[in-house]
Structure 1
Amino acid sequence: MGKVYLVGAGPGDPELLTVKAVRLLANADVVLHDALVSPAILALVNPKATVFDIGKRCGAKLLTQAEINALLIAYVQTSGTVIRLKGGDPSIFGRSGEELSALNEAGVEFEIVPGITTAIAAAASAQISLTDRRYASAITLMTAHRGRDEDAVEWDRLVTSGATIVIYMPGKDYRDISVQLQRAGLASDTPCVVVSHASQQDEQKLYTSLDALSRATALPAPSLLIVGRCASALERVEPQFLSLGTHRINGFEKEIF
């Protein structure tokens, strides 16, 4: 029996892959990848490997989660290196938990190879700090899409926590998120930024406020919404040069920066 690697493909830019991920892809026997994995990353896969696209498109799943679990177990019994390639980081909204449980129950050896989650890539593209100490000392990662058996989002607790809120998969209509956060007590002028296709060539960004967000046209999926004072476009101004004082150089007074 071989080994299954749950590998994070990052946000899409192949240069943001870990060295370990690149090595594993180059030596893979089987790769089962999500729809969000970019063609540039798939180009790094061993050309002799068996590659399956098992992602969902427009909400339609090619395979159920149970079928994906069964494929992983079936292939690892006859192949050396089986890679489950996931967009972003495998442990962040990647359904890894269900796959890990299935692999554990089948007695399959596995390893998780982390990747850059989209929240970090989006913040880098937006040139903001998610934990800017002037505004927030914590981050809340959440998704607008929840499982059928899960409770509704506790918006009040999100707002009172004071954390920067990062919402994966905000959907095609931002109005509900905007209304819910304002009802929970978040100020209408709270800065927001939406990042679409973070780190990729077709990346788009929208800097706005929580109130204006409800009227904004949604950017193409996959996208991510950051809500908090750190997300202000005003923080992205030209750096202010700090004077180190006036010094005498070669007989002349000069201000040093």
Structure 2
Amino acid sequence: MLNDEELLRYSRQILLPQIDIDGQLRLQQARVLIVGLGGLGSPVALYLAAAGVGELHLADFDSVDLTNLQRQVVHDSTQVGRSKVDSAITRLQAINPQVKLVAHRQALDEDSLAAVLAQVDLVLDCCDNFSTREAVNAACVAAGKPLVSGAAIRLEGQLSVFDPRREDSPCYHCLYGHGSEAELTCSEAGVVGPLVGLVGSLQALEALKLLAGFGEPLVGRLLLIDALGTRFRELRVKRDPQCPVCGGRHA
């Protein structure tokens, strides 16, 4: 049950018939892994903590750098040089002390990913490289856990949801294969802050929909964002039955 303080804290979203008390209780009982606490992970962590998701696992091996502050809004100038996980914990505890925060300060490998995924209900991929995305995707497929994936660079963003619990859902590998040999990062190509805020906010929204059980998640759909022209486009994405990661999932 929700106590009086919780009813007041979450009252504006409880008013929504799609969430109500039952949905809020589902959020309170949920456990989520956020991989990366940069430009995407910042709004994800802030909004999920504020919404009352019960347990957030925060994974990032990096430290806060001055160049991060233009877009990574969970951190501030006083945290430069500090672990991003510890910086985020300080901010999130101030926003909502009721949320349990679990730190993962080392890079996650195959074994540690499997161990963490056994403890959570959903994963948000907020990292900035294909190898980590591929590893997180494979772990989610193996564990049967939904994955909310976002990306942003320059003035372009992408968002999709991969849910191995659904027979018709593709996985990240179905869509992107092995990625690009000439992969660019924001430090090389640049990115505008509000764009990563937009993509991360949409990731948080998709996570809340999946956890509380309302709306239509972006499963089988890829949302493309053109920030230069403020245009949104949606592509349908089918599962690849020959995919080496998820192809034999429902065989």
TM-score by length of 2: 0.33
TM-score by length of 1: 0.32
Higher helix share goes to which structure?
2
Larger Rg over CA atoms: 1
Higher strand share goes to which structure?
1
